[in-house]
Amino acid sequence: MQYYISEGEAQYMDANQGHFSKALAQWAISRMRVRDAGGNLVKINSIPFEEVEKTLQDYGIGIKEESVYDAWYLYNMCLADYRRSLPERNDIAMYIDETINDPDCDPKAVLACWRAKMDVMGIPIHWERYM
């Protein structure tokens, strides 16, 4: 099976080594929604990058430089998608550690999984905007 990627995506991947850039993570986070008590989709109350960095430091979690924006994306994804199963800061921090530092998984998997979700939902990614 051949897989086609655009020139913009190839340039993005080369420039960011298969990880989220700050701009792409920011866009991905801005699209995150949850259902409120009335069943309406509303934006999450996202957590700033600096707060995520501090949380990871507080729990002694080391993240390689190329994965810092992956961690920012994951933290906010947990708030949107796993708020019942990962309700506390330490739970989210451990999830990030176990995901990003998984010894039998490629470190680029965080972006690859997000990209697959965008493909399934038919949401185009304008890679050149997020270099």
The predicted-structure confidence for 73-88, as pLDDT tens digits, reads as follows 999 999 999 989 999 9
Contacts of 131 (CB under 8 A, 6+ apart): 11, 12, 15, 16, 21, 23
Do the domain assignments include residue 11? no
- What is the pLDDT at residue 131? 86
Do the domain assignments include residue 17? no
- What is the pLDDT at residue 2? 66
Do the domain assignments include residue 83? yes
CB atoms within 10 A of CB 80: 16
- What is the pLDDT at residue 104? 96
Do the domain assignments include residue 2? no
Q: Which domain holds residue 93?
A: 22-130
User: CA nearest 78: which of 45, 116, 111?
Assistant: 45
- What is the pLDDT at residue 9? 95
- What is the pLDDT at residue 18? 96
- What is the pLDDT at residue 5? 87
Do the domain assignments include residue 13? no
* Joined tokens for residue 83: 């708020």
Do the domain assignments include residue 84? yes
Q: Digits of tens for pLDDT over the chain (131 positions)? A: 566 789 999 999 999 999 999 999 999 999 999 999 999 999 999 999 999 999 999 999 999 999 999 999 999 999 999 989 999 999 999 999 999 999 999 989 999 999 999 999 999 999 999 98
Query: What's the total number of domains in the chain?
Result: 1
Do the domain assignments include residue 38? yes
- What is the pLDDT at residue 4? 78
Do the domain assignments include residue 41? yes
